[in-house]
Chain A
Amino acid sequence: KKKMKNLTLVVMLLCYSFASSSGDTTIHTNNWAVLVCTSRFWFNYRHMANTLSLYRTVKRLGIPDERIILMLADDMACNSRNQYPAQVFNNENHQINLYGDNVEVDYRGYEVTVENFLRVLTGRHENAVPRSKRLLSDEGSHILLYMTGHGGDEFLKFQDAEELQSHDLADAVKQMKEKRRFKELLIMVDTCQAATLFNQLQSPGVLAIGSSLKGENSYSHHLDSDIGVSVVDRFTYYTLAFFERLNIYDNASLNRSYDPRQLMSTAYYRTDLYQPHLSEVPVTNFFGSVMETVHTDSAYHAFSNRISNSKIKSDTPFNQLSEQDVKEDLRNTHNQNDELKTEKQKCPYSEMRADLHEKLKKIENVDTMVNLSIAVMILVVMVSSSLL
């Protein structure tokens, strides 16, 4: 009997833990993207091109600049070695200029540090940091985190001066989960030995995609002889090739496989922390901004601003509240009008005027009356001028 009791306890605990781990009753409300290029210097042109290509794709599929945090060293476009000043290409055919008029870089130059990156993820900023540099996600957000640069076994090199380690990343993600800063997180890393960066991740709701396994390098795709350096990495190149065929209405799922022969490395998917099946998840859940709309029959009220801050979970109870508020206000104004009317009724002249006003309001077609009166006036003029 004790064994049975223990078993049931264990089963209940398991169920409870399952429930708590899978218990996400929040709805997906917005998408964010954090795109980080961790390299600087001219020979790392391709890393900036990678990040800018992802930026362009994500914007094209619908995520606005307010919800993209772009971290770049940004020293390629106006580099004195750049033969095409203020232009960045990711292909030797130079068809797309990635550095157009509407590129908003949030952290540039020497601001791209491990500390700033972790502050962005965890949301722990100093007071003076502006809103455009903060990741203001909430528990309904899907976040895309893309990092590219030079990496190694369980680390990522930041701007040749520091490194981000896998447990730093895992800690940050754990903090984010505790603070309910995301509903689902997709981490894409395009560096050498990228898969090792995910070794310490444990938070649920995280999907990780790396471009190579431990011991493998990730390679660049091709060299642009005009610019003189490689302009894109293979993993990002094939990812983009997939996205360029999409628009915001497509239903393509995340479940696509990379060809190891084309990549010259093995793409790694860590899906054990991610509950939904990959083939059921549309790409636009992370890369775009298309969301399921929930239709309600209740009317839009100006009061809802007060209520929306408290994270609406279901629509009906709050809307009923606001309708009641509206009715109360209307009753109050009616009472005030009645009071005013009683005061005015003391004066007979204003009584007459009020009566006139009411009669006038009842006349629906004032215009035809006016037109008729004008016609009558003209008739009188003609008659009187011919008589007198």
Chain B
Amino acid sequence: MPVLDLGLIFRTSPIDPDLIRGKSQPLFPSGVAEGYWLKQASMSPYAGSMYHGSPLLLSLLGPLTVQRIKGQPSHLFCSLVFVIADILSAMLLRGIGHKLQMAYGLNARLLGLLKSPRDKEGILPSGDIAALVYLWNPFTIVCCVGLSTSPIENMAVILALNGAVTRRVPLAAFGLVMATHLSLYPAILTIPVIFLLGYGLDAPPLKLFLQTRNVESDNRSSTSSASKQAKLKPTAHLPFLWRTVVHFVFWVLVWSLCVLVLCGLSLSKHGGLEEMFKRTYGFILSIEDLSPNIGVFWYFFAEVFDFFRSFFLIVFHVNILFMLLPLAIRLKHRPCFLAFIYLAISSLLKSYPSVGDSALYLSLWALFVNELAVDMKFSFFLFCGYLGVSLLSPVMHNLWIWRGTGNANFYFGNAIGYACFQIVFVVESVSAMLNHDRALKKCNPNHQEVKN
């Protein structure tokens, strides 16, 4: 906890946000301020070209961008809100990690890998590590200081995951609806959330439990339903808790209705819901804004012919969609990890990537240190890669735009390098997790043949 306090102090120190905003990353600076000003001037907040977010966010954060206290740096209230959002996210991550860690320990004991409670000390406290990684990640700090809306989006995603992990269905539904409302891509998280609610927490594949005959009776509710099922009936199918999922769908509908009604209300004078969908989701899907960011699409769409533009838009968005199904099939026994992979892929392939997305999936990665830290290859290479890219990116941007001694290719090369490192990271994580499962199978001391 004292470490968390240090994090808080570090953020509220008067770092000049303009310095960060002046740098490359399009952290959507002052978009909220412009949207709020337009709203106050009785115009649609989407009339300018800077604000493409939710009207609810505007009505919450807008007044904060204007209020000032004498002697304090401007946007103090906004920064405070983002700091609070980050701290909440860290605490929620800690909760998720705690649950996962307990499930890990339990599964290990059920599989007979741990003989006595003393062995549990070998398990790393993934919750604390994930929370610390999130708070101290330079990407998170940059997002918070640079006043982008990423901390709030990240908080919504983590809220959804926490609700799903701790089986609080309304919370999970609320988090998912808010995350999808703020940026479109967390919609793909419905699959892992439904798996979390239906199948339960991350666990080794069912086969391992079936192969284990020495199963101790354990009635703790944090057990995955897989091991319970294996105790009761030696079938090869996991039960799916339909009731919880239907409950979840109901709450999703309730929250979506609320959000849509509120948005329609706040935009009733300026074009209504259609305008909002066109300007928020339409903006994300059609990639109208080609200003440089840490992703790779802006460069491509700046030179593609108009005739092929819709084709390539469809290709790039389907690129995310067609990875969903195979991963879901392969990793359905580990829904939390599946959520992490989905987030990593979407932050790689989304229309306007930013460092806030990487902050999120890097801290989610830390939730799985117990499984991944041993097996992951290239970890040092990836670490150096991320460090180098994040240091060079503002330099290249400066050379290109402010000094004029470089050109777009400098910055774009950096972005391509970053994308490559992300891809290697995702692939390595998945293979490390699958290797871990295979290793579990091998070192299972009670290995016996399954009789079909």
A297 at the interface (CB under 8 A from B): no
**Min CB gap B162→A, angstroms:** 10
Q: Which of A324-374 contact B (CB under 8 A)?
A: 357, 360-361, 366-367, 369-371, 373-374
Mark B265-309 against chain A: 1 for CB-CB distance below 8 A, else 0.
110110000000000000000000000000000000000000000
B163 at the interface (CB under 8 A from A): yes
**Min CB gap B149→A, angstroms:** 15
**In the complex, are the beta carbons of B268 and A366 less than 8 A apart?**
yes
Stretch at the interface among A20-28, A247-255, A380-388: A380-388
**In the complex, are the beta carbons of B262 and A373 less than 8 A apart?**
yes
Interface size on A, residues (CB 8 A): 16
B174 at the interface (CB under 8 A from A): yes
Q: How far is the CA of A295 from the CA of B268 in the complex (A)?
A: 42
Q: For A357, what are the chain B residues with a Cβ–Cβ distance below 8 Å? A: 268
Q: In the complex, which of the residues A361, A371, A377 contacts B258, with contact meaning CB atoms closer than 8 Å?
A: A377
Q: How far is the CA of A380 from the CA of B177 in the complex (A)?
A: 15
Q: For A388, what are the chain B residues with a Cβ–Cβ distance below 8 Å? A: 168-170
Which of B55, B169, B268 has the largest count of A CB atoms less than 10 A from its CB? Answer: B268
Q: For B374, what are the chain A residues with a Cβ–Cβ distance below 8 Å? A: none
Q: In the complex, which of the residues A360, A361, A381 contacts B171, with contact meaning CB atoms closer than 8 Å?
A: A381
**Min CB gap B171→A, angstroms:** 4
Mark B112-141 against chain A: 1 for CB-CB distance below 8 A, else 0.
000000000000000000000000000000
**In the complex, are the beta carbons of A367 and B174 less than 8 A apart?**
no
**Min CB gap B177→A, angstroms:** 10
Which of A357, A367, A369 has the largest count of B CB atoms less than 10 A from its CB? Answer: A367
Q: How many A-B residue pairs have CB under 8 A?
A: 44
**In the complex, are the beta carbons of A374 and B262 less than 8 A apart?**
yes
Find the A residue at minimum CB distance from B55.
Answer: A370
**Min CB gap A269→B, angstroms:** 59
Q: Majority SS of interface residues in chain A?
A: helix
Q: How far is the CA of A324 from the CA of B171 in the complex (A)?
A: 62
Q: Which of B29-64 contact A (CB under 8 A)?
A: 39, 55-56, 59-60, 62
Given contacts A360-B265, A361-B269, contact A370 B171 (CB under 8 A): no
Q: For A384, what are the chain B residues with a Cβ–Cβ distance below 8 Å? A: 168, 170-171
**Min CB gap B231→A, angstroms:** 27
Residue contacts A-B, CB under 8 angstroms, 26 given = A357-B268, A360-B265, A360-B268, A361-B268, A361-B269, A366-B268, A367-B39, A367-B62, A367-B266, A370-B55, A370-B56, A370-B265, A370-B266, A374-B56, A377-B174, A377-B255, A377-B258, A381-B171, A381-B174, A384-B168, A384-B170, A384-B171, A385-B163, A388-B168, A388-B169, A388-B170
- Chain A interface (Cβ within 8 Å of chain B)? 357, 360-361, 366-367, 369-371, 373-374, 377, 380-381, 384-385, 388
